[in-house]
Amino acid sequence: MLREQKEQAAQLRHAKALVACRAAEEHLEMANLRLAEAREWFSLVLADKSEAAKILNVRTWCAALEIKQREHLKALNEARRYAEQTLKEMTTATRDREGLDRYREKSVRAYEYELRREEQKTADEMASQPGRMGGLLDFAGRESFAHA
C-alpha cells in the first residue's frame, strides 16, 4: 500500500512538472513574440531616421525583452530538468511497486503450493493407515451385518 501511494505521489509530481513545462513554454513563446515585435518596431524607428532618444528608448525596450526572453528560457530549462527528475522518480517508484507485487505474488504462490503439499501429505498419511479408514469401514460393515 505504501509503495502504491509513493508511486501515485510520484505520478502527481510528474504531472505537475509537465504542466509547469507547458506553462514555461507558453511564456517563452509569448516573450519571443514580444521581442520579435519590438525588433520590428526598432527596425522601423531606424528606417524612419527618428531622433536618437527614441531610438535609444526602443533599443532599451528590446534589451529588456531580451533579458525577459533569457529568463523564460532559463525557467523552461529548469522546468524540463525537474520534469526529467520526476519522471525518473516515478519510474523508480513504479519499478519498486512492481517488484514488490511480483514478490507478493511469488510468496502467495509458494504459500499455496506448500499448503496443498501439506494437505496432500495429510491425505496420503490418512489413506496409508489401514486402521484408520479401514477400521471405520470395517466397523460400519459389521454393524450392518449384526442388525440383519
CATH code for position 32 = 1.10.287.1700
Q: What is the dihedral of CA 85, 89, 91, 93, to 10 degrees?
A: 180
Which residue type, as a one-letter code, is found at position 104? R
Helix, strand, or coil (residue 50) = coil
What is the total count of domains within the chain?
1
Measured distance CA(66)–CA(36) in Å, rounded? 10
| pLDDT tens digits, one per residue of 26-53 | 999 999 999 999 999 999 999 998 899 9
Query: Domain limits at 51?
Result: 2-147
Tens of pLDDT along the chain (148 residues) come to 688 888 899 999 999 999 999 999 999 999 999 999 999 999 999 999 889 999 999 999 999 999 999 999 999 999 999 999 999 999 999 998 888 889 889 999 999 999 999 999 898 888 888 765 554 455 455 555 555 5
Cell output for 10 = 510520484
Cell output for 110 = 509458494
Phi-psi label, residue 49: left if phi above 0, alpha if psi -120 to 50, beta otherwise: left
Measured distance CA(50)–CA(44) in Å, rounded? 9
